[in-house]
Structure 1
Amino acid sequence: MKNRILIVDDSFYMRTMLKNMLTDAGYEVVGEAANGQQAVEMAVQTTPDLITLDVILPDNTGLDVLKEIRKEQPDVKVVMCSAVGQEVIVNEALESGASAYIVKPFSEEKVLEIVGSALQEGASDAAQA
Protein backbone atom coordinates (compact mmCIF):
# COMPACT_ATOMS: atom_id res chain seq x y z
CA MET A 1 0.00 0.00 0.00
CA LYS A 2 1.30 3.44 -0.92
CA ASN A 3 1.94 5.98 1.78
CA ARG A 4 -0.68 8.74 1.69
CA ILE A 5 0.52 12.36 1.80
CA LEU A 6 -1.27 15.69 2.25
CA ILE A 7 0.55 18.78 0.95
CA VAL A 8 -0.07 22.12 2.69
CA ASP A 9 1.44 25.26 1.15
CA ASP A 10 -0.07 28.60 0.14
CA SER A 11 2.03 28.58 -3.06
CA PHE A 12 0.45 26.69 -5.96
CA TYR A 13 3.93 26.33 -7.46
CA MET A 14 5.32 24.69 -4.31
CA ARG A 15 2.32 22.36 -4.01
CA THR A 16 2.73 21.30 -7.64
CA MET A 17 6.49 20.80 -7.28
CA LEU A 18 6.06 18.68 -4.12
CA LYS A 19 3.20 16.71 -5.66
CA ASN A 20 5.29 15.86 -8.72
CA MET A 21 8.30 14.84 -6.60
CA LEU A 22 6.22 12.65 -4.32
CA THR A 23 4.03 10.98 -6.95
CA ASP A 24 7.07 10.28 -9.14
CA ALA A 25 8.62 8.54 -6.11
CA GLY A 26 5.53 6.33 -5.69
CA TYR A 27 3.68 8.14 -2.92
CA GLU A 28 -0.06 8.85 -3.11
CA VAL A 29 -0.90 12.54 -2.73
CA VAL A 30 -4.39 12.52 -1.17
CA GLY A 31 -4.89 16.27 -1.20
CA GLU A 32 -3.52 19.77 -1.33
CA ALA A 33 -4.41 22.63 1.00
CA ALA A 34 -3.60 26.31 0.54
CA ASN A 35 -4.32 27.48 4.09
CA GLY A 36 -4.54 26.28 7.67
CA GLN A 37 -8.30 25.77 7.80
CA GLN A 38 -8.21 23.60 4.66
CA ALA A 39 -5.25 21.70 6.10
CA VAL A 40 -7.04 20.73 9.30
CA GLU A 41 -10.24 19.78 7.44
CA MET A 42 -8.39 17.76 4.81
CA ALA A 43 -6.21 16.02 7.40
CA VAL A 44 -9.37 14.73 9.09
CA GLN A 45 -11.07 13.80 5.78
CA THR A 46 -8.11 12.09 4.09
CA THR A 47 -6.28 10.56 7.10
CA PRO A 48 -2.82 10.85 5.52
CA ASP A 49 0.27 9.02 6.76
CA LEU A 50 2.31 12.21 6.39
CA ILE A 51 1.68 15.93 5.93
CA THR A 52 4.10 18.42 4.42
CA LEU A 53 3.24 21.68 6.16
CA ASP A 54 4.42 25.19 5.28
CA VAL A 55 5.24 27.40 8.26
CA ILE A 56 3.81 30.60 6.74
CA LEU A 57 0.14 30.33 5.75
CA PRO A 58 -2.31 33.14 4.91
CA ASP A 59 -4.76 32.43 7.74
CA ASN A 60 -2.59 30.90 10.44
CA THR A 61 0.92 29.78 11.25
CA GLY A 62 2.03 26.30 10.34
CA LEU A 63 2.95 25.80 14.00
CA ASP A 64 -0.64 26.48 15.09
CA VAL A 65 -1.94 24.18 12.35
CA LEU A 66 0.50 21.48 13.48
CA LYS A 67 -0.82 21.71 17.04
CA GLU A 68 -4.44 21.55 15.83
CA ILE A 69 -3.77 18.52 13.63
CA ARG A 70 -1.94 16.81 16.51
CA LYS A 71 -5.15 17.05 18.60
CA GLU A 72 -7.12 15.16 15.95
CA GLN A 73 -4.40 12.85 14.64
CA PRO A 74 -1.57 12.39 17.14
CA ASP A 75 0.18 9.72 15.06
CA VAL A 76 0.35 11.45 11.67
CA LYS A 77 3.89 12.35 10.60
CA VAL A 78 4.44 16.03 9.78
CA VAL A 79 7.35 17.52 7.85
CA MET A 80 7.51 21.29 8.17
CA CYS A 81 8.65 23.18 5.06
CA SER A 82 9.64 26.83 5.05
CA ALA A 83 11.93 29.47 3.67
CA VAL A 84 12.32 30.51 7.31
CA GLY A 85 15.10 28.50 8.91
CA GLN A 86 15.35 30.36 12.19
CA GLU A 87 16.49 28.04 14.95
CA VAL A 88 13.70 29.14 17.33
CA ILE A 89 10.99 28.24 14.79
CA VAL A 90 12.69 24.95 13.87
CA ASN A 91 12.96 23.96 17.55
CA GLU A 92 9.35 24.92 18.29
CA ALA A 93 8.14 22.86 15.30
CA LEU A 94 10.10 19.81 16.43
CA GLU A 95 8.96 20.24 20.05
CA SER A 96 5.35 20.52 18.84
CA GLY A 97 5.54 17.14 17.17
CA ALA A 98 6.98 17.70 13.70
CA SER A 99 9.08 14.79 12.48
CA ALA A 100 11.44 17.01 10.52
CA TYR A 101 11.94 20.50 9.12
CA ILE A 102 13.05 21.27 5.56
CA VAL A 103 14.29 24.74 4.63
CA LYS A 104 13.35 26.03 1.14
CA PRO A 105 14.71 25.94 -1.47
CA PHE A 106 15.21 22.20 -1.24
CA SER A 107 16.27 19.46 -3.61
CA GLU A 108 14.11 16.52 -4.63
CA GLU A 109 16.70 14.17 -3.10
CA LYS A 110 16.47 15.93 0.27
CA VAL A 111 12.65 15.93 0.27
CA LEU A 112 12.48 12.22 -0.53
CA GLU A 113 15.14 11.42 2.07
CA ILE A 114 13.31 13.32 4.83
CA VAL A 115 9.85 12.01 3.86
CA GLY A 116 11.17 8.44 3.75
CA SER A 117 12.82 8.83 7.16
CA ALA A 118 9.70 10.36 8.68
CA LEU A 119 7.54 7.49 7.46
CA GLN A 120 9.81 4.83 8.95
CA GLU A 121 9.60 3.65 12.54
CA GLY A 122 11.20 6.08 14.94
CA ALA A 123 10.21 8.97 12.70
CA SER A 124 10.27 11.37 15.63
CA ASP A 125 14.02 10.96 15.47
CA ALA A 126 14.13 11.96 11.77
CA ALA A 127 16.96 14.33 10.99
CA GLN A 128 16.40 18.02 10.51
CA ALA A 129 17.35 19.23 7.05
Structure 2
Amino acid sequence: MARIMIVDDSMMMRNTLRRILEKAGHAVVEEAVNGQQAIDNYPKCLPDLVTMDITMPGLSGIDALKGILEYDPQANIIAVSALGQKHIVFEALQNGAKNYVLKPIHEDKLLSVLEMVLEQNGFAESH
Protein backbone atom coordinates (compact mmCIF):
# COMPACT_ATOMS: atom_id res chain seq x y z
CA MET A 1 0.00 0.00 0.00
CA ALA A 2 1.38 3.37 -1.03
CA ARG A 3 0.54 6.70 0.59
CA ILE A 4 -0.59 9.02 -2.20
CA MET A 5 -1.27 12.73 -2.59
CA ILE A 6 -3.71 13.78 -5.33
CA VAL A 7 -3.33 17.25 -6.85
CA ASP A 8 -6.09 18.36 -9.22
CA ASP A 9 -8.36 21.41 -9.41
CA SER A 10 -11.32 19.23 -10.45
CA MET A 11 -13.23 17.65 -7.57
CA MET A 12 -14.62 15.06 -9.99
CA MET A 13 -11.09 14.05 -11.05
CA ARG A 14 -9.86 13.92 -7.43
CA ASN A 15 -12.82 11.68 -6.55
CA THR A 16 -12.15 9.43 -9.56
CA LEU A 17 -8.47 9.07 -8.68
CA ARG A 18 -9.28 8.44 -5.00
CA ARG A 19 -11.80 5.72 -5.91
CA ILE A 20 -9.33 3.93 -8.22
CA LEU A 21 -6.40 4.20 -5.81
CA GLU A 22 -8.32 3.13 -2.70
CA LYS A 23 -9.94 0.23 -4.56
CA ALA A 24 -6.40 -0.95 -5.39
CA GLY A 25 -5.44 -0.82 -1.71
CA HIS A 26 -3.56 2.48 -1.62
CA ALA A 27 -4.16 5.25 0.92
CA VAL A 28 -4.91 8.79 -0.25
CA VAL A 29 -3.27 10.82 2.52
CA GLU A 30 -3.76 14.29 1.05
CA GLU A 31 -5.61 16.18 -1.67
CA ALA A 32 -4.68 19.58 -3.04
CA VAL A 33 -6.75 21.75 -5.36
CA ASN A 34 -3.89 23.84 -6.74
CA GLY A 35 -0.13 23.94 -7.11
CA GLN A 36 0.57 26.17 -4.12
CA GLN A 37 -1.51 23.98 -1.83
CA ALA A 38 0.44 20.95 -3.11
CA ILE A 39 3.78 22.57 -2.23
CA ASP A 40 2.49 23.68 1.18
CA ASN A 41 0.96 20.31 2.11
CA TYR A 42 3.63 17.94 0.75
CA PRO A 43 5.97 18.29 3.78
CA LYS A 44 3.06 17.65 6.15
CA CYS A 45 2.15 14.26 4.67
CA LEU A 46 5.33 13.10 2.85
CA PRO A 47 3.51 10.75 0.47
CA ASP A 48 5.14 7.87 -1.39
CA LEU A 49 3.73 9.25 -4.65
CA VAL A 50 1.96 12.34 -6.00
CA THR A 51 -0.46 12.47 -8.93
CA MET A 52 -0.10 16.01 -10.30
CA ASP A 53 -2.53 17.65 -12.71
CA ILE A 54 -0.31 19.73 -14.96
CA THR A 55 -2.78 22.41 -16.07
CA MET A 56 -4.39 24.14 -13.11
CA PRO A 57 -5.33 27.77 -12.49
CA GLY A 58 -2.82 29.75 -10.47
CA LEU A 59 0.46 27.97 -9.87
CA SER A 60 0.82 25.38 -12.63
CA GLY A 61 1.48 21.70 -12.08
CA ILE A 62 4.95 22.19 -13.58
CA ASP A 63 5.78 24.88 -11.01
CA ALA A 64 4.30 22.77 -8.20
CA LEU A 65 6.36 19.79 -9.38
CA LYS A 66 9.51 21.96 -9.24
CA GLY A 67 8.59 23.21 -5.77
CA ILE A 68 8.03 19.73 -4.38
CA LEU A 69 11.25 18.43 -5.94
CA GLU A 70 13.15 21.37 -4.47
CA TYR A 71 11.94 20.24 -1.03
CA ASP A 72 12.33 16.50 -1.76
CA PRO A 73 14.49 15.62 -4.79
CA GLN A 74 13.42 11.96 -4.44
CA ALA A 75 9.68 12.70 -4.69
CA ASN A 76 7.74 10.35 -6.97
CA ILE A 77 5.45 12.50 -9.10
CA ILE A 78 3.22 11.27 -11.91
CA ALA A 79 2.03 14.00 -14.27
CA VAL A 80 -1.65 13.89 -15.21
CA SER A 81 -2.62 15.71 -18.39
CA ALA A 82 -5.33 15.88 -21.01
CA LEU A 83 -4.84 14.14 -24.31
CA GLY A 84 -3.36 16.57 -26.80
CA GLN A 85 -1.03 18.29 -24.32
CA LYS A 86 2.08 16.31 -25.23
CA HIS A 87 4.34 19.36 -25.01
CA ILE A 88 3.25 19.94 -21.40
CA VAL A 89 3.77 16.26 -20.53
CA PHE A 90 7.26 16.44 -22.05
CA GLU A 91 8.01 19.56 -19.98
CA ALA A 92 6.84 17.77 -16.82
CA LEU A 93 9.10 14.80 -17.56
CA GLN A 94 12.03 17.14 -18.25
CA ASN A 95 11.44 18.79 -14.88
CA GLY A 96 11.43 15.60 -12.84
CA ALA A 97 8.08 13.83 -13.19
CA LYS A 98 8.73 10.07 -13.09
CA ASN A 99 5.98 9.22 -15.58
CA TYR A 100 2.58 10.40 -16.81
CA VAL A 101 -1.00 9.35 -17.43
CA LEU A 102 -3.46 10.98 -19.81
CA LYS A 103 -7.05 12.01 -19.16
CA PRO A 104 -9.52 10.49 -19.42
CA ILE A 105 -8.04 8.23 -16.76
CA HIS A 106 -8.06 4.50 -17.49
CA GLU A 107 -7.86 2.52 -14.26
CA ASP A 108 -5.49 -0.18 -15.57
CA LYS A 109 -3.11 2.36 -17.10
CA LEU A 110 -3.01 4.50 -13.94
CA LEU A 111 -2.30 1.52 -11.71
CA SER A 112 0.38 0.07 -13.99
CA VAL A 113 2.20 3.43 -14.19
CA LEU A 114 1.90 3.88 -10.43
CA GLU A 115 3.30 0.41 -9.69
CA MET A 116 6.12 0.88 -12.20
CA VAL A 117 7.17 4.22 -10.68
CA LEU A 118 7.04 2.84 -7.15
CA GLU A 119 9.06 -0.28 -8.09
CA GLN A 120 11.67 1.73 -10.00
CA ASN A 121 12.16 3.96 -6.99
CA GLY A 122 12.63 1.28 -4.36
CA PHE A 123 9.16 1.25 -2.84
CA ALA A 124 8.49 -2.04 -1.08
CA GLU A 125 4.93 -3.24 -0.51
CA SER A 126 5.76 -3.76 3.16
CA HIS A 127 6.49 -0.02 3.47
When the two structures are superposed, what TM-score results if normalisation uses the length of structure 1? 0.89
The answer as to 2:118 corresponding to 1:119 is yes
- Counterpart amino acid of 1:50? L
What amino acid is the match of 1:99?
K
2:35 match: 36
Deviation per CA, 1:15-42: give whole Å up to 9, x if none. Answer: 0000010011011110110011111111
1:74, CA displacement in angstroms?
0.9
Provide the residue aligned with 2:62 in structure 1: 63
Q: Which runs of 5+ in 2 are unaligned?
A: 123-127
| Separation (CA, whole Å) in 2 of partners of 1:84 and 1:110 | 14
Within-5 A mapping of 1:7-46: 7-46=6-45
In the superposition, relative to structure 1, how do residues 86 and 53 fare at CA in structure 2: closer, same or farther (>3 Å)? same
Which deviates more, 5-14 or 73-82? Answer: 73-82
Kindly tell me: are residues 122 and 47 of structure 1, through their superposed partners in 2, closer, same or farther at Cα, counting changes over 3 Å? Answer: closer
Change beyond 3 A, Cα 1:105–1:21: same
State the 1:61 CA deviation.
1.0
Q: What is the aligned partner in structure 1 of residue 125 from structure 2? A: none
Runs of 4+ in structure 1 off by over 4 angstroms are none
Instruction: Tell me the equivalent position of 2:80.
Output: 81
Tell me which residue corresponds to 1:96: 95
Aligned-pair identity (%)? 43
The alpha-carbon deviation at position 82 of structure 1 amounts to: 1.2
| Unpaired stretches in structure 1, ≥5 consecutive residues | 124-129
Count of paired positions: 122
Letter aligned with residue 97 of structure 1: G
**Structure 1 counterpart of 2:6, which letter?**
I
**In 2, Cα distance between the equivalents of 1:12 and 1:112?**
20
- The one-letter amino acid paired with 1:29 is V
**Secondary structure of the equivalent of 1:120?**
helix
Call closer, same or farther: CA 1:122–1:44 in 2, change over 3 Å: closer
Contact 2:81 2:89 in 1 (8 A): no
